[in-house]
Structure formats: C-alpha cells, structure tokens
Amino acid sequence: MKTEREPRPESAAPRRKAGCESLYTILIVTWNGDDLLRECLESLAVSLAKPPHCVVVDNAALDSTRALCRRYGFVDYVPSAENLGFAGGNNLGWPRCKTKYVCLLNNDTRIRGNPFATLVDFMERNPRAAVTQGTMILPRCGGTLDDCGTTLRWYGVQHHRFFRSPPPPDLAPAPVFAAKGAFMMVRAEAVDEAGGFLFHSHFKSYYEETDFCHRAWLSGHEIWFVPTVPVEHMLGATSSKLDNAMVWRQYIANILFSFSANFTVVGRLRILTPFAFVCVAFAALNLLRGRFRLFCAIATAPWINFHRRKELRETRAIVQKIRKLSDHEVLNAWRSARHRCGTKQAENYVSYIS
C-alpha cells in the first residue's frame, strides 16, 4: 500500500534504550502556524527542566518556521514540500523518533508542568497500554475539558467523554476506544504490532488516530485516558482555516474506510448499516437548512473510497494478520481492562496528579 509504506523503515531502526536522554520524543505537525508553534515550544522550554527531543514537521516548509525551530536546541525541524495533513505529517516525522514512546502533540497546545511523565509512568506500569491520552482543557470554552478519550456507539458515532464539561473531582484513568491525537503518547513497538504503520497518509487530518487505536485494540493492546496536569488546547485553531464542507467529506470518508478495513464482514454489516442512516439523516438535515454545499460533501463522501479500493484490500489483509480480538471483544474490551486495572490503581493516579 503506497501511502503506508513510507513510515515503515523505522520499524527496524534501533530505538534508544531506557536510561538515555529520555524515554519519549515529542512529535508536532504544523502548517502556517508560527504563532501557535512559538507558544507551544516556549511552553515546553519553560515547563520542563530538560525538554526531550522534539520533532517538528512543517507541512508548509516556511523559512520562518525553520528559523523559529532553530531557536530551540531540542527541536529537530523536518520540512515537507506539500501539506500532508496531520496523518501524513506524523508519518513523515515518525522515523526521526527513536525512543520507546512518542508523544503526538498539536501545535495549538500549551504545556504547564510535566504531563508527559504521568503518561510514561502509567505505560511503564501497564505494558499492554499502546496509547495513553492526558487531560486537555479548552481556554476558549471557559477552561472546560476537551474530550477524555472516546467510545464508539453501536451506530458508529463516537462519544466524546466529558467534552466541554467542568473537570470532575474524581477524574480517573479509564480504558477508551480511542485517544485524541492532540495529546497522545504512543508505545513505539505497538505501531509495529498494529500493522507496521502509524496512520493512513490518505486520511489527511481526520479519524486517523481513531483508526490506529482500533488496530491497536485488534492486535491485543489497550488504549487509556490517564488524568494529567492539564494541557491547554486551543481547539480549532488550525482546522478553522479549512473548508468546513471538505472537512466533513474527508471525515466521513475516513470513517467509512476505517470501518470497512477493521471490522469483519458481519461487523461491517452491523455498524455500517446504522451509520449509513446517520449520514443520510445528516445530509438531509443540511439540505433542508439550505446548506447545499455541505449536503453535497456528505453525499459524495463514500465515493472517495472508490479510488482507495487497492489500499482497502491491502489494509484488510494486514488487519487479518494482526487480529487477536473479535469485533465484539474490541467493543467491550475497555470494560474488562477497567476491571483489571482496579479502583485502587485509579485512586493512586488521582492522588499522583493532584
């Protein structure tokens, strides 16, 4: 699969052992966002006594972004000749990350304290955890929570846990179907075990992290939300520059591709049927409201995957090889994981971050 083979060479590359500079690398993708990136990098420099190696992928290849990155000795600048989106940008930067863990971090985030240590500590104690997501708050929404991981409803729509809710006092670690890519720690070896690639490059910027988390669950790993010192997320600072109709078209097409690739035949029938009704209803609602362009974008989204037929067949073959859990087991796995983690450990982590 051409789009996925780019990040695979690093699978064989030796990774730094524990005890080196750091157990994790931070990977940031930016596009025409020097102001946001400056605040993000400065917050890392100020908040961390010794910032880890940080890889910045510039999807716009701007001289100003290169100059900005040179101001920080811990930053490795990687330019891209074209806008690869969040998915392709992270794939491009992934081979530069040689540590045991890699933290995907949005350029529109600001760090306070050291949230990374909490995630690494949790993953060191829980070797089945392939991905952990920390706490994010939304300054533009009164300091409410960004979603604390997502679960997948039976009709194919994600439930964003605690999204835009005040932080509860008893926020505790919880297994989730997927983490949010804005602040997400990934176990490097889990990428190899979940198909040998991080994201589908053709996904561009939507649903790519959920697709990866789905594959991680299928390969026998777990995805966790772990409360940390809150990271400020300026939600929509980059996506607001994009065409909303085309965003929805790409998003729905990516969901359909992911469902078609990762679920079995029976699983696809069970989840794609109700999801199709959701999409039809959403398209009809926008048509009734006079949003014709958005209606057309939603209605034509499935046709994008017609040109991805080869990639879809290859991805299905990969998923079949890595699959250790059934669809039913994956969709219920976070319940058993929560039971195994236990209340005592959850209480310890609440105490640890407070």
DSSP code string of 167-235? PPTT---EE-SB--TTEEEEEHHHHHHTTS-SS-GGGTTSSHHHHHHHHHHHTT-EEEE---SPEEE-T
What is the number of residues in the chain? 354
* Helix H or strand E segment including 75: strand 75-79
* Residue type (1 letter), 310: K
Backbone angles phi, psi at 131, to 5 degrees: -140, 140
Angle at 101 (CA atoms; ends 194, 84), nearest 5 degrees: 65
Q: What is the mean pLDDT of residues 249-265?
A: 97
162 band by pLDDT with thresholds 50, 70 and 90: very high
pLDDT tens by residue, 168-217: 988 999 999 999 999 999 999 999 999 999 999 999 989 999 999 999 99
Alpha helices by DSSP H, the chain: 2-5, 34-47, 63-70, 85-93, 115-125, 188-193, 208-218, 244-262, 265-288, 292-304, 309-322, 327-353
Angstrom CA distances, 261 to 167, 310, 332, stand at 36, 11, 19
The mean per-residue pLDDT over the stretch 117-128 comes to 96
Q: What is the mean pLDDT of residues 277-290?
A: 97
- What phi and psi values does residue 54 have, to the nearest 5 degrees? -125, 125
Average pLDDT rounded to a whole number, residues 126-140: 97
In the chain, the amino acid numbered 96 is R
Poorest-pLDDT segment among 52-56, 84-88, 244-248, 277-281: 244-248
pLDDT of 268 strictly over 70? yes
235 pLDDT tier (thresholds 50, 70, 90): confident
Supply the pLDDT for residue 12.
34
pLDDT in tens, 10-57: 333 344 444 334 899 999 999 999 999 999 999 999 999 999 999 999
Identify the three-state secondary structure at position 152. strand
Mean pLDDT, rounded, of the chain: 89
CATH numeric code, 2-241+346-353? 3.90.550.10
Q: Judge whether 248 and 297 are in contact, CB under 8 Å.
A: yes
63 pLDDT more than 60: yes
Running DSSP on this structure, what letter comes out for residue 108? T
Q: What is the pLDDT of residues 77-96, one digit of tens each?
A: 999 999 999 999 999 999 99
334 or 174, which is more confident: 174
CA gap 106, 179 in Å, rounded:
13
Contacts of 63 (CB under 8 A, 6+ apart): none
Whole-number percent of the chain with pLDDT over 90: 83
